[in-house]
């Protein structure tokens, strides 16, 4: 399946095997990366919920919290917990994760009666999209490194084997 002209494409460095995703032809090791054609694939297109769960470790509850903040504007943990019926500690944990991802902004507000409270406001959609895209690309880089390690581990295990057994059993046990 060839991506259309306005979709990001996948590139690979012919020198080091690095992977790049983008609209333009990125460079690596001092030269342009080669575009890879993915063709037919056994991998199905992920839903947004699956993508958020897999890459960003968002549970269904966290997605609920995220959507409520996106719709509700500026909210405190207490107000949001009351609104959606989740425990305050659960809401606070999810809001902190969403703030780390850059989906919501966390600010400390001084209360007129003393003390402070944290308020959470949604980031604009274009900011959320760019931050999630950046985090996704980091995840792809780390996932690619895992695949490279798997290949390296397999070759090393086969090379180090001193028996007449089938070597693929090494990976069945893991």
Residue 8 lies in a domain: yes
Distance CA 113, CA 118 (A): 15
Those residues with Cβ within 8 angstroms of residue 60's Cβ, 6 or more apart along the chain or in another chain: 49, 53
Residue 157 lies in a domain: no
Residue 145 lies in a domain: no
pLDDT of 23 > 80? The answer is: no
Q: Which domain holds residue 111?
A: 58-124
Output Rg (C-alpha) for the chain, integer angstroms: 22
138 DSSP 8-state letter: H
Task: Express as a percent the part of the chain with pLDDT over 90.
Answer: 24
Distance CA 20, CA 14 (A): 12
24 and 73 part of one domain: no
Distance CA 67, CA 125 (A): 12
71 and 119 part of one domain: yes
pLDDT of 156 > 80? The answer is: no
Number of domains comprising the chain: 2
80 and 24 part of one domain: no
Beta strand segments in 33-157, E: 34-35, 75-76, 104-110, 116-122
Residue 162 lies in a domain: no
pLDDT at 42: 80
pTM to 2 decimal places? 0.64
pLDDT in tens, 31-87: 888 888 766 778 888 888 888 888 888 888 898 888 888 888 889 999 999 998 999
Which carries the bigger pLDDT value, residue 35 or residue 5? 35
Cα 56 versus chain centre, distance:
4
Give mean pLDDT, residues 3-30: 76
73 and 105 part of one domain: yes
């Amino acid at each position: 399946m060839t991506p259309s002209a306005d979709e990001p494409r996948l590139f690979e460095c012919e020198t080091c095997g690095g992977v790049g995703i983008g609209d333009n032809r990125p460079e690596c090791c001092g030269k342009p990366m080669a575009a890879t054609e993915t063709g037919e694939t056994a991998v199905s297109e992920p839903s947004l919920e699956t993508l958020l769960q897999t890459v960003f470790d968002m549970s269904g509850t966290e997605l609920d919290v995220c959507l409520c903040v996106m719709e509700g504007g500026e909210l405190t943990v207490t107000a949001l917990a009351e609104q959606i019926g989740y425990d305050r500690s659960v809401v606070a944990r999810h809001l902190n994760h969403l703030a780390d991802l850059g989906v919501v902004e966390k600010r400390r507000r001084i209360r007129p009666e003393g003390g402070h409270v944290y308020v959470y406001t949604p980031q604009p959609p274009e900011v959320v999209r760019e931050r999630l895209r950046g985090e996704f690309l980091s995840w792809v880089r780390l996932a690619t490194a895992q695949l490279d390690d798997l290949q390296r581990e397999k070759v090393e295990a086969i090379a180090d084997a001193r028996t007449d057994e089938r070597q693929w059993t090494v990976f069945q046990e893991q």
